Amino acid sequence: MKYLSTRGGMDPAGYGEILLEGLAPDGGLVVPEELPRVSAETREAWRGLDYPSLATEVLSLFATDIPRDDLARMCRDAYAVRPENFVDPAVVPLVPLGDVDPRLSLVGLSEGPTLAFKDMAMQFLGQSLEYVLRRSGRTINILGATSGDTGSAAEYALRGKEGIGVFMLSPQGRMSAFQRAQMYSLTDENIHNIAVAGVFDDCQNLIKQLSGDLDFKRHHRLGTVNSINLGRISAQIVYYFWAWLRQTDALDAAERETAQVSMTVPSGNFGNILSGHYARQMGVPIRRLVLAANENNVLDEFFRTGIYAPRASAETFLTSSPSMDISKASNLERFIFDLLGRDPERLAAAWRELDETGRIDLSDEQPRFAEEFGIVSGSSTHADRVATIREVHETSGLVIDPHTADGVKVAREHLEDRVPMLVLETAKPAKFPEIVVEAIGASDPLPEHLSELLDLPQRVTAMPNDEVQLREYVEARAV
């Protein structure tokens, strides 16, 4: 399998090469040359596999330049069931919400070390990055900015990894107590937490300044593991296969051949649902992919009208489902590439339109979003989240997090007769105590193995919003 750029300006490259890169060299996004197809027969042959074995099967279709035994070992390590890793014996459990609606279930994607779905991809990326670097005798320094889940998932996946340094910037005083404890309590030598006096945008600007200095970037081999990384996208495809298989386990052979399910995805940068879009094209029988947004509804607007109009950061609301607070959706370019017949020239024209007018008008294509690609959308508000968390708790006894609540709210607007609806659970409620208390009057306790996290000593370097200091800090500690 080879990989190309959406903008057409990259020589075909292997999986091992694209893992180390964010953007393609021509400014586009890396996409598979062609998506592999999985037949109904193969799907059934995979039914008996545990999660790491299924991951090996799916990922071997993408990572064709990694020997299968090596890939299998990486998947075993990434998705191992033990207290500091994945805690549920299934890795990804399906939890019926039958008391809310008989068609609804949750897909548990937040059983990993940082209690959010980013672990699903990061855990594999940590394994595969270390492997690819070792194979080529290279090292990398990951420079990232986080206001929450991404930073901690990256640090837990990359801690102690050979040949990898991690420099993670976070805005001082703006992370929750749990998020701080999670990141700053890590003592691994290759993990560097830097609390910048400023907001998240300041952190991102510092990173842009450092990686914009191409000499500095090359000399210290700076890299990123952000949500456009295709390694992450490929690892997320696995759980769409897994969810369909588990949902249809109880059916007989004839029913399985025609069984469709719909899936709702709480969305921000369009990474998770893009993996669902790829899984559907590979052969997972998904009827509808439902995109759920919060008040930052730029993607809901796009799927309803066909007009993509990114917002300025100043127009981006701070909401109670913060991991979905986006002004533009980095991964949408890959969907638009498919929509425009995978034609780099048409894609480039769309991006020119965006540069010139601030928007892309694809309203003529809008009917195809649902008809051809199965994608529909909806959005929710703080009041919706509170009401949904409360109602799910009252009817089923389960506590869900605010992002999953956005999903459940929008999923219920898209239920169809006899079609099961799976909502991807993207985080655990213990990470977001404020809204949970508002909804049900009490917070959800941390899982047992994390109960002492808040008391652990923390290690973080405070720094002014100053490029020169950051540069010196990285220079002194890069691997």
Ligand X SMILES: *Cc1c(COP(=O)(O)O)cnc(C)c1O
- The residues carrying an active-site annotation are 118
Q: Using the minimum distance from each CB to ligand X, give the nearer residue, 143 or 324.
A: 324
Instruction: Give the residue, chosen from 5, 56, 152, 272, that forms a contact with ligand X under the rule CB under 6 A.
Output: 272
Contact status, residue 228 vs residue 22, Cβ threshold 8 Å: yes
Of 139-147, 159-167, 172-180, 261-269, the segment contacting ligand X by CB under 6 A is 261-269
Q: Residue 427 interacts with ligand X (CB under 6 A)?
A: yes
- Cα end-to-end distance, the chain, whole Å: 31
Instruction: Give the residue, chosen from 267, 294, 297, 320, that forms a contact with ligand X under the rule CB under 6 A.
Output: 267
Q: Residue 155 interacts with ligand X (CB under 6 A)?
A: no
Q: Using the minimum distance from each CB to ligand X, give the nearer residue, 117 or 124.
A: 117
As measured in angstroms, the least distance from the Cβ of 48 to ligand X is 29
Which residue carries 């009817």 as its tokens? 395
Q: Residue 149 interacts with ligand X (CB under 6 A)?
A: yes
Q: Across the strands, what pairs with 283?
A: none
Contact status, residue 163 vs residue 133, Cβ threshold 8 Å: yes
Instruction: Give the residue, chosen from 132, 181, 324, 474, that forms a contact with ligand X under the rule CB under 6 A.
Output: 324
Residue with CB nearest ligand X?
271
Q: Using the minimum distance from each CB to ligand X, give the nearer residue, 190 or 234.
A: 234
Contact status, residue 450 vs residue 110, Cβ threshold 8 Å: no
Of 116-124, 188-196, 198-206, 435-443, the segment contacting ligand X by CB under 6 A is 116-124
Q: Residue 229 interacts with ligand X (CB under 6 A)?
A: no
**What CA–CA distance (Å, rounded) separates 183 from 196?**
14
Which has the closest alpha carbon to 113: 456, 460, 453, 457?
A: 453
Q: Residue 144 interacts with ligand X (CB under 6 A)?
A: no
Q: Using the minimum distance from each CB to ligand X, give the nearer residue, 56 or 331.
A: 331
Q: How many CB atoms lie within 10 A of CB 29?
A: 23
Q: Residue 168 interacts with ligand X (CB under 6 A)?
A: no
As measured in angstroms, the least distance from the Cβ of 72 to ligand X is 26
Q: Would residue 433 be called left, alpha or beta, if left means φ above 0 and alpha means ψ between -120 and 50 degrees? A: alpha
Which residue carries 């805005």 as its tokens? 171
Phi, psi dihedral angles at 21 (to 5 degrees)? -115, 150
User: What is the three-class DSSP state of 222?
Assistant: strand
Q: Residue 113 interacts with ligand X (CB under 6 A)?
A: no
As measured in angstroms, the least distance from the Cβ of 41 to ligand X is 31
Q: Residue 422 interacts with ligand X (CB under 6 A)?
A: no
Instruction: Give the residue, chosen from 203, 426, 428, 450, that forms a contact with ligand X under the rule CB under 6 A.
Output: 426
Phi, psi dihedral angles at 69 (to 5 degrees)? -65, -40
Q: Using the minimum distance from each CB to ligand X, give the nearer residue, 32 or 271.
A: 271
Contact status, residue 243 vs residue 31, Cβ threshold 8 Å: no
| Beta-carbon contacts of residue 286 (< 8 Å; ≥ 6 apart) | 240, 244, 260, 261, 262, 263, 276, 279, 280, 374
User: What is the three-class DSSP state of 357?
Assistant: helix
**What CA–CA distance (Å, rounded) separates 292 from 324?**
9
Which has the closest alpha carbon to 169: 151, 156, 154?
A: 151
Q: Residue 269 interacts with ligand X (CB under 6 A)?
A: yes
Phi, psi dihedral angles at 466 (to 5 degrees)? -140, 115
Q: Using the minimum distance from each CB to ligand X, give the nearer residue, 165 or 268.
A: 268
Instruction: Give the residue, chosen from 112, 151, 231, 271, that forms a contact with ligand X under the rule CB under 6 A.
Output: 271
Instruction: Give the residue, chosen from 28, 113, 165, 266, that forms a contact with ligand X under the rule CB under 6 A.
Output: 266
Q: Using the minimum distance from each CB to ligand X, give the nearer residue, 79 or 432.
A: 432
Of 46-54, 55-63, 114-122, 305-313, the segment contacting ligand X by CB under 6 A is 114-122
Q: How many CB atoms lie within 10 A of CB 265?
A: 29
Of 79-87, 263-271, 446-454, 462-470, the segment contacting ligand X by CB under 6 A is 263-271
Q: Residue 385 interacts with ligand X (CB under 6 A)?
A: no
Chain residues binding ligand X by CB under 6 A are 116-118, 149, 227, 266-272, 323-324, 403, 426-427
